[in-house]
Structure 1
Amino acid sequence: MSMLAPARHSDPAVFGRVAVLMGGSSSEREVSLDSGAGVLAALRARGIDAHAVDGIPALAKALAGGEFDRVFNILHGQHGGGEDGVVQGLMEALGMPYTGSGVLGSALAMDKIRTKQVWLSLGLPTPAYVRLGRGDPGSGPGQAVHAAACELGLPVIVKPSQEGSSVGISRVFDDAGLDAAVALAACYPGELLMEKMVEGDELTVGILDIGGTPRALPSIRIVPKGEWYDYEAKYVSDETQYICPGLEGEDEDALGALALRAFAAAGCRGWGRVDAMRDRDSGALFLLEVNTAPGMTSHSLVPKAAAQLGVDYEELCWRILETTL
């Protein structure tokens, strides 16, 4: 039985004709197609007139033709993905209701560096970092990278500032590994980010708007079989453990409150997911990023957290779509 307040609507006709926006042309296309297939099946199982739309150009054409009444956006990533504010701007211009964050929240959360700048300005905890420019002048980017690692102190994480799903990320424990890590991250558009590695528990908190009020779902502590929660552990491995709730008592309450503050600070709305780390020695919490269109695959985290409250996958999709009404 669901531990949330009852859904506001029970008649699927209230949603009209729904576009499930998936696929696209970002580096996360395959994950988005998997998420979209699940959402589409769930909405149809609840009697909703839902239809798959692959990518932003196809959506623009369909909306121009008046084919849909609202959009369930399950695109992931940027540059043809639906998390960077571009498709949100299109839908705002057309007055089309859609799931997830608006233009500002989507664009900001997609940029990890600028999200961290906002959090730090509000006193919210996030790992120390250095922005790595492409082709820094002076002694060359290679030396700038080694100087940044020296400033932060090894070990560090090197990653693209504007990718998701652990794409292009490296964990670097010694100076010799820095150049290869930067070369991998540089395969993707945008700035590069080096941040101090927090060693400890990897945690995530789903956020869902219930009746106009954002609510933190039970946290999840992620225990991968390997050394860390990489792409393989997220989407392929069946050996990753998900402990929900991830923390207990006051610690769980503190994490949920921090996630809600981080979500609001980034200008996000509707639903999403906030990722964090808890330092193994001090117990301190550190914010990593906000996902404004989290995965909805069989391995995904928001459905696991909702299930802890008695909300199954179909009900979760209905609740997310209700945020557009």
Structure 2
Amino acid sequence: MGQDKLTVGLVYGGKSGEHEVSLSTAFAVMNAFDFDKYEIIPFYITKQGTWKIGGKLSSPFADASELKLEGGEGTQAALNAVFSRLYGGEEAVVDIMFPLLHGTFGEDGTIQGLLEMADIPYVGAGVLASAAGMDKGVMKKLFAEADLPQCEYCYFNHSQWERGSHDLLRGIEDKLGYPCFVKPANLGSSVGISKAKDAEQLRNAIETAFRFDNKIIVEEFVDAREVEVSVLGNDEPMASVPGEIVSSGEYYDYTAKYTDGKSEMLIPAPVDPDTADRLRELAITAFKAIEGNGITRADFFIRRSDGAIMINEVNTMPGFTPYSMYPLLWRETGVSYRELLDRMIELGLERYKRKQSLIYENEA
């Protein structure tokens, strides 16, 4: 078989609050790969943003601690080889890059832009979808344009707040009321989110959120069930069965999501067939609204009072260990974790080939 193996660059770690989560994802993915089909080159990005490259692997690491590569003397040469197209070189060392980075500098279009410049195929969403999926304000505007139902919200930046906090607070109270949720617009993973029950809490929550981002979203509180749908594909995406999260905390925050293990996932979600179909349909609409590619998880609210479905957000690099919602939903739909990896790589290569066929200059 030798020569026919695809060389996959696994990129993980990164300059984000979700560095450790990314490492556990990388370990899970590495252990699920079919090494008869793929060779893996590990790329570790430290918390400071330094790239370190390991040698080609024909079997997974035995221990997750090995993912924190040392780098060393060959790293510069290896990086130059991988990104050789930036220097006018021709040789492709990696057939496709597989970014497993959550949050800032990974899920927000920045590494996708680097790979586009370097002319390297990669797995997952492109620059635009990644950036739009990361910025909750832009995402909500795209959802509105696609007529997706969503909860009421206000969206403003730091200078608007400094110029007119009093008017903004009044506007939020009039439009959303209490309680409401305050979120940084661009952070993955529920960091910096607070629930405000009165004006003083609201002001404090906004000040807190501004420590994490320059833009803020304030959303009305919706008493709702939380349901998620996985989407897979490029131009003709498919949606998985829906799954429901029954949270341990007051809302689904970082601790509930990653550490305390008390949030329960009900797969498939206990909803009637019509609701399930509607959720799948809306998940595909949302995927197309952000110009998605590869994978996306769409998160919905089902309001308890009247059963109304509202989209909350999409996530272009959802949690991806075998115990995460995204792969579990596909498993229930009939696609195993290993098949999912194969499919994601195929979709990345397909998208790259299509882009290669476009003309980028006026050849009249």
Instruction: Report the TM-score range of the alignment, normalised by the length of the smaller protein.
Output: 0.7 to 0.9
Q: 2:38 aligns with which of 48, 67, 70?
A: 48
Alignment-mate amino acid for residue 265 of structure 2 = Y
SS at match of 2:228: strand
SS at match of 1:323: helix
1:308-319 equivalences in 2 (<5 Å): 308-319=332-343
Q: Which whole-Å CA distance do the structure 2 matches of 1:179 and 1:285 have between them?
A: 30
Aligned to 1:157: 181
Aligned to 2:266: 243
Aligned to 1:280: 304
Q: C-alpha displacement at 1:252, in angstroms?
A: 0.2
Alignment-mate amino acid for residue 266 of structure 1 = I
Aligned to 1:36: 26
Q: Which whole-Å CA distance do the structure 2 matches of 1:270 and 1:90 have between them?
A: 18
Alignment-mate amino acid for residue 102 of structure 2 = H
Is residue 134–residue 191 contact of structure 1 (8 Å, CA) maintained in 2?
A: yes
Q: CA deviation digits over 1:190-249, x for unaligned, max 9?
A: 311101122110111111128x63111111110012222111111112221111122230
Alignment-mate amino acid for residue 220 of structure 1 = G
Q: C-alpha displacement at 1:313, in angstroms?
A: 2.3
Return the TM-score normalized by structure 1. 0.88
- Residues 33 and 12 of structure 1: CA distance in aligned 2, closer, same or farther (over 3 Å): farther
Is residue 207–residue 217 contact of structure 1 (8 Å, CA) maintained in 2?
A: yes
Aligned residues: CA RMSD: 2.3
Pairing 1:186–2:210 present: yes
Pairing 1:63–2:82 present: yes
- Greater shift, 17-26 or 119-128, is seen at 119-128
- Residues 84 and 163 of structure 1: CA distance in aligned 2, closer, same or farther (over 3 Å): same
Q: 2:12 aligns with which of 7, 16, 22?
A: 22
* Bigger radius of gyration among the two: 2
Q: Which whole-Å CA distance do the structure 2 matches of 1:162 and 1:12 have between them?
A: 43
Is residue 13–residue 48 contact of structure 1 (8 Å, CA) maintained in 2?
A: no
Aligned to 2:237: 214
Is residue 44–residue 50 contact of structure 1 (8 Å, CA) maintained in 2?
A: no
- Residues 12 and 166 of structure 1: CA distance in aligned 2, closer, same or farther (over 3 Å): farther
Moved over 3 A (4+): 11-15, 44-47, 59-62, 137-140
Alignment-mate amino acid for residue 77 of structure 1 = G
Return 5+ residue gaps in structure 1 as ranges. 1-10
SS at match of 1:278: strand
Return the TM-score normalized by structure 2. 0.79
- Residues 311 and 181 of structure 1: CA distance in aligned 2, closer, same or farther (over 3 Å): same
Q: Which whole-Å CA distance do the structure 2 matches of 1:12 and 1:120 have between them?
A: 50
Is residue 134–residue 141 contact of structure 1 (8 Å, CA) maintained in 2?
A: no
Q: Which whole-Å CA distance do the structure 2 matches of 1:307 and 1:13 have between them?
A: 31
Q: Which whole-Å CA distance do the structure 2 matches of 1:321 and 1:137 have between them?
A: 43
Aligned to 1:136: 160
Q: C-alpha displacement at 1:265, in angstroms?
A: 0.8
Is residue 159–residue 193 contact of structure 1 (8 Å, CA) maintained in 2?
A: yes
Q: CA deviation digits over 1:4-56, x for unaligned, max 9?
A: xxxxxxx8975621111111102222211221221122125565211321237
- Greater shift, 255-264 or 130-139, is seen at 130-139
Name the structure, 1 or 2, with higher relative contact order (CA <8 Å, separation 6+): 1
- Aligned-residue sequence identity (percent) comes to 34
SS at match of 2:348: coil
SS at match of 1:283: coil
Q: Which whole-Å CA distance do the structure 2 matches of 1:51 and 1:315 have between them?
A: 20
Aligned to 1:145: 169
Return 5+ residue gaps in structure 2 as ranges. 54-78, 85-91, 350-364
Q: Which whole-Å CA distance do the structure 1 matches of 2:182 and 2:161 have between them?
A: 20
SS at match of 1:182: helix
Is residue 91–residue 97 contact of structure 1 (8 Å, CA) maintained in 2?
A: yes
Pairing 1:73–2:99 present: yes
Q: 1:263 aligns with which of 270, 287, 290?
A: 287
Alignment-mate amino acid for residue 14 of structure 2 = G
